[in-house]
Structure 1
Amino acid sequence: MPNRTTVPALALNSPFSQASEPGSEALDWRRNAACVDLPQQYVFTRVPAEAAPVLRACNQCPIRRECEAIVDPSHTWFDGVSGGRLWRNGREVKARKAAAARGRR
C-alpha cells in the first residue's frame, strides 16, 4: 500500500492551500500577502510562539483585512493566523497578561 500523507479537510479548502490549480484566479489575492513566503506550518499553527513571524508579517501586510474576510476564521473553525490575529477553532487566541506585561517593561 502506498504511503499517503493525510491532509486535513480544512487545509484543502483553505485560501492558503496549494491544492488548487496553479494560477487559479481565486487565489490571486494571496500573491500580495506578506506571509506568502513563510512556511505554512507557521501560518496554520495553534501555538502563539510559532505564529510570531507570521503575526509580524501581518503588521505590514497590504491585504490584512481581505485575508480575514476571505478566510472568515470565526465561521470556519480556522486554526492559524489570519488578519493579523491567531485563531484556534475559530476563536481569537488572546495574548496572556504575563506576555503583555513583559512587553511593557
Structure 2
Amino acid sequence: MDNVKDCYEQERGDFIFVYHNALAVLFMEYGQFLNIATIPTYQIHTYLVDPIYLQKYMKSAFPDERFKQMFLHALNENNAEQMLVSLETLVSYVLKQMGGFHIDGWHVKSPIEG
C-alpha cells in the first residue's frame, strides 16, 4: 500500500501499473488465505464474473462476495484518487478478514543472549 501511495503522491507515470499489480498481489494473497486454487492474473476478472469460466475450468465461485464486489469496483476504477481509496478499502478489509495487523505484535521465539 505504501508503494502505491508513494507512486500516487509523486505523480509517477507508472501509477496505474503499480496499482493494478497491487490488486493482483492482494487477490493472490487473499485467495491463498481462503485456500482457493491459484487463478492466473489474466483470468481473474473472468473468474469473478463469468459462470461459464467456472464450469469450463471446474472452479468454485469466489467464496467472499463482499471482497469480490469491492475488487471488481477497484478494477474498474479509473480516477487516480478513487483508485487509491478503493485499494485502501480492500487492503483494510483483507487485513481484517485475516485477523488484523498489529505492528507491535511481534514476539521473539528464541532466547536473547547478551
Q: Which has the higher contact order (CA 8 A, sep 6+)?
A: 2
Q: Same fold (TM over 0.5)?
A: no
Structure with max Cα Rg:
2
TM-score normalised by structure 1 residue count: 0.29
Structure (1/2) with the larger helix percentage: 2
TM-score normalised by structure 2 residue count: 0.27
Structure (1/2) with the larger strand percentage: 1
